[in-house]
Amino acid sequence: MRLLSLFAITASTLPIAVYAAEPHSYAQPDQVQITHLDLDLTIDFPQQQLDGQATLKLNWKNPKAPSLVLDTRDLKIASIESVSADGKTAPLKYALASRDKQLGSKLTIATPTHPSQVRIVYTTVPEASGLQWLTPSQTADKKLPFMFSQSESIHARSWVPLQDSPAIRFTYTAHVTAPKDVRVAMSAINDAHHPLDGKFDFDQPHPIPSYLLAIAAGDLAVKETGPRSAVYAEPSVVGKAAHEFEDTEKMIATAEALYGPYRWGRYDILVLPPSFPYGGMENPNMTFATPTVLVGDKSLVSLVSHELAHSWSGNLVTAASWRDIWLNEGVTTYVQGRITEALYGKGLADEESLLSARALEKDIGAMPANAQKLAPDPRGVGADDSLSAVAYDKGSWFLRTLEQRFGRDTFDTYLKSYFNHFAFQSITTEQMLAYMKPNLIEKYPGKMSWSEVQDWVYGTGIPKDAPLPDSPHFDAIDKERSAFLGDTLTADKLDAKGWNTQEWMYFLDRLPDVAPLPKIKELDAAWHLTGTPNAEIGMRWYTHAIDSGDKDVWSAAAEHMTRIGRLYLTLPLYKAFAKTPDGLAYAEQVYAKAKAGYHPLTQQAVESIFASAKTADK
Ligand code: BES
Ligand code: ZN
């Protein structure tokens, strides 16, 4: 029962509510829970703030609860009132605690009468951790300003006061006022034909956790990609995006054939400006995506398979705490592979599994023991820190192992029943395992022992017999890389003309950490990697070139870092530069210019790289 706390133990006949201990939220779900959020927002571009009114419908659990405790970060609270069933309002007393660096400010609202609703009037600050505001000149088409949210993990609290824990689910409605010509999109059903009259209404009828609240607004055009899918993007980007994502309907149909109906209605994709700090975010009905996957050949559309897969693993069955995040990301990465395999073939799916498995094998040993576990022991706060390759790649590796042991048909049936059983619930790892034991492990004895399951979930490292796919292409690349490094093959003789994105990634991933400078020069002369339009390749290439001391790539690297704010593609370059005093000084100059275009999360991450480089110096 470690990590679970039991609350609400009343008469023995009543079901016992189990809540995951969630150290990243001040909410007290054993006392009271939000069941519905009604938002009224005005998007104020000149002030870079949201003017908000959040009306929370409450389900009181403890008749003696003295207060409603909410999460906030940097919100300016104007007033708080109770709203009774007949619409009467009365002011409520509240206290906003001082700001915790990780968690923000605990908001305690005195609620002696247990009102059915509470309304909070507030504004956000321009630096809100969950929002980015862009001026027209920072957009592709330079016409209108742009803003977007990124709530996962614990940033919803910076734009809505609420119980910011994935264990708590609520439906929401929203009324949003925006300047004329701007289109507003949210994580709910969106109407592609809505007039741009400055008034938008949204309804999310399914209960979702707070990290799936999302909003974006700007110069957004819409192009259909199927009967229930479209892409939203700036006008100059939308055509390219619709082409790249033309297989969306096939992806939805593939996932449905495996795991049951898509339950959310439409599945749209919003392509954000390049400062979006992640690759993708599975906001319900409206995946948010980085433009860095628009490379023209559909080679990076596994991102869509991934975010779509979250419609089952994550949005339908949700990790109840950030410690259980592998239930979202590991299961999703497995499902992503199945969609990729069905649409683009086993060869590509195996390459993607191998890329991540090989990278994990290389890195996992250097991680702290607790971080190597799928379900770690209780640890300090820092929800975004829990996002590591372990949740994604050890998690999906575990599921591929289960599939191999039990057979694809059996495992598919099991996984579908798991999604149905826990639909629209937030669950812990232990709840997942309690379902798996009778329904998979014991139902088909002799396939996998319980202690093997425990080793995958609670053990460190990667179990010894973890199966890896074969990839003849990757084997050939390993040989060519060795020959090239061993001076028996010159760079221009590498058989790389036909390499796809993943094959280049694999070639570059397994170059030595610091490759000899002449080898880097030779590669670039033969294959012109500097200036590549493919940022997955660029990130790997520039990192190697900087590590090898190749100053000739610095300006192209700076261009990559300035243009792209996606953490995963930009931070490795900052880290590479920060290893030498000259490099660090150069990266600081690049940052000084790039900073204004970066998301608050990217700014914070770059600044902490600089800070640790400087303390390491002393
Ligand atoms: N839900 C994640 C993004 C995320 C996780 C944001 C945790 C903040 C905290 C999303 O589904 C994701 O995994 N995105 C990946 C895509 C990739 C694995 C295809 C990304 O952003 O790189
Ligand atoms: Zn994900």
Secondary-structure percent of the chain, ordered helix, strand, coil, rounded to 5: 40, 20, 40
Q: Which CATH architecture has domain 320-458?
A: Orthogonal Bundle (1.10)
Tell which atom from ligand 1 comes closest to the C-alpha of 333: 18
385 is written with which tokens? 């820190």
List the one residue out of 352, 350, 367 whose CA is nearest residue 462: 367
Q: Whose CA is nearest to atom 11 of ligand 1?
A: 281
Q: Catalytic residues, which ones?
A: 307, 392
Domain map (residue ranges) of the chain:
23-218, 220-307, 320-458, 472-617
Query: Residue 253: CB partners within 8 Å, gap ≥ 6?
Result: none
First to last CA, the chain: 45
Ligand nearest to the CA of 385: 1
Per-residue pLDDT reduced to its tens digit, 83-101: 998 999 999 999 999 999 9
Where do we find the tokens 């109906």?
261
Please identify every stretch of the chain with a pLDDT value under 70, giving residue numbers as ranges.
Answer: 1-20, 382-387, 617-618
Please give the number of the atom of ligand 1 that sits closest to the Cα of 387: 7
Query: How crowded is the C-beta side of 386, counted as CA atoms within 13 Å?
Result: 28
| Amino acid 388: pLDDT | 85
Strands 94-96 and 18-20: unpaired
Question: By C-alpha distance, which of 414, 412, 467 is closest to 439?
Answer: 414
> Does ligand 1 come within 6 angstroms of the Cβ of 550?
no
Span from the CA of 38 to the centroid of ligand 1 (angstroms): 27
* Separation between Cα atoms, residue 576 and residue 567, nearest integer Å: 14
Any ligand 1 atom below 6 A from CB of 352: no
Query: What is the reported pLDDT for 383?
Result: 60
Ligand 1: centre distance to CA 447 (Å): 32
CA 336 to ligand 1: nearest atom: 19
Distance (Å, rounded) from C-alpha 233 to C-alpha 242?
9
Out of 3.40.50.2000, 2.60.40.1730, 3.30.70.270, 3.40.50.720, which CATH number does the structure's domain 23-218 have? 2.60.40.1730
Q: Which residue out of 281, 301, 567 has the highest number of ligand 1 atoms within 8 Å of its CB and is therefore the one to mutate?
A: 281
- The CB of 310 under 6 Å from ligand 1? The reply is yes
Q: Which CATH class is domain 472-617?
A: mainly alpha
Contact indicator for 466, 397 with CB cutoff of 8 Å:
yes
Give the distance (Å) from ligand 1 centre to CA of residue 16.
Answer: 33
Ligand nearest to the CA of 569: 1
Task: Say how many CA atoms lie within 13 Å of 129 toward its Cβ.
Answer: 21
b/e per residue, 544-573, with b = 16+ CB within 10 A? bbbbbebeebbebbbebbbbbbbbebbbbb
Cβ of residue 155 lying under 6 Å from some atom of ligand 1: no
Same CATH fold assignment for domains 23-218 and 220-307: no
In CATH, what number does 220-307 get?
3.30.2010.30
Kindly state if the Cβ of 303 falls inside 6 Å of ligand 1: yes
Encode pLDDT of 522-559 as tens digits: 999 999 999 999 999 999 999 999 999 999 999 999 99
Contact 75, 161 (CB under 8 A): yes
What local confidence, expressed as pLDDT, does residue 17 receive?
46
Instruction: Look at ligand 1, atom 3, and give the residue with the nearest C-alpha.
Output: 281
- From 152, 211, 278, 564, the mutation candidate for ligand 1 (largest count of ligand atoms within 8 A of CB) is 278
